[in-house]
């Protein structure tokens, strides 16, 4: 099963390699990973998507906790949460397809962020499945390049 883990870390050199080294050394999967500073200067938040059964994810969580620089590990799957992935997609856009591309982007509430005679760069944000959906639809038109941020996630507020 897919799990999104949110890991708060001390913002120190080498911390990211402690986390990724743990995953490679113990044979755990990383599907996507993103890190950035939080509101606290000394703390970074790492969002990581991994795949494994309950026992493996429990072991991953415990091993992450064991790292001295890890402050907190939250398995988002145990909470109500929102998650977003952003993609930049360079798609072929010649006179015959330009309109179709624009219509598609519009449906997915994406934006054109760069225009060239033969291509657009579009920006689209959403759940992993939404981003995957637009990629699948644009593929026949001609995708030249894709860059994705990986998933970021946050628990929902209390009602």
Residues contributing to the site for other proteins (CB under 8 A): 10, 13-14, 17-18, 21-22, 25, 55, 58-59, 62-63, 65-66, 68-71
Tell the smallest beta-carbon distance from residue 66 to other proteins (Å): 5
**Which is closer to other proteins, CB of 19 or CB of 49?**
19
158 token code pair: 């209390």
Q: Which helix or strand (DSSP H or E) is residue 91 part of?
A: strand 81-92
**Which is closer to other proteins, CB of 67 or CB of 133?**
67
Tell the smallest beta-carbon distance from residue 61 to other proteins (Å): 9
CA atoms within 13 A on the CB side of 63: 17
Tell the smallest beta-carbon distance from residue 51 to other proteins (Å): 19
**Which is closer to other proteins, CB of 78 or CB of 103?**
78
- CA–CA gap between residue 115 and residue 112 (Å, rounded): 7
Tell the smallest beta-carbon distance from residue 68 to other proteins (Å): 4
**Which is closer to other proteins, CB of 22 or CB of 133?**
22
Size of the chain in residues? 159
Distances (CA, A) of 95 to 92, 120, 131, 138, 141: 10, 12, 25, 16, 12
DSSP label of 79 = S
């Amino acid at each position: 099963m897919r799990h999104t883990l949110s890991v708060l870390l001390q913002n120190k050199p080498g911390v990211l390699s402690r986390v990724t080294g743990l995953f490679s050394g113990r044979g755990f999967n990383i599907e996507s990973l993103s890190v950035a500073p939080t509101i606290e200067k000394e703390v970074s938040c790492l969002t990581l998507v991994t795949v494994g059964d309950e026992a493996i994810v429990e072991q991953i969580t415990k091993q992450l906790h064991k790292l001295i620089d890890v402050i907190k590990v939250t398995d988002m799957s145990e909470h109500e949460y929102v998650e977003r992935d952003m993609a930049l997609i360079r798609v072929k856009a010649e006179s015959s397809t330009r309109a179709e591309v624009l219509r598609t982007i519009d449906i997915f509430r994406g934006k054109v962020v760069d225009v060239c005679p033969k291509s657009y760069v579009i920006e689209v944000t959403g759940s992993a499945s939404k981003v995957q959906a637009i990629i699948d639809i644009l593929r026949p038109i001609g995708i030249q390049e894709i860059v994705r941020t990986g998933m970021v996630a946050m628990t929902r507020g209390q009602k």
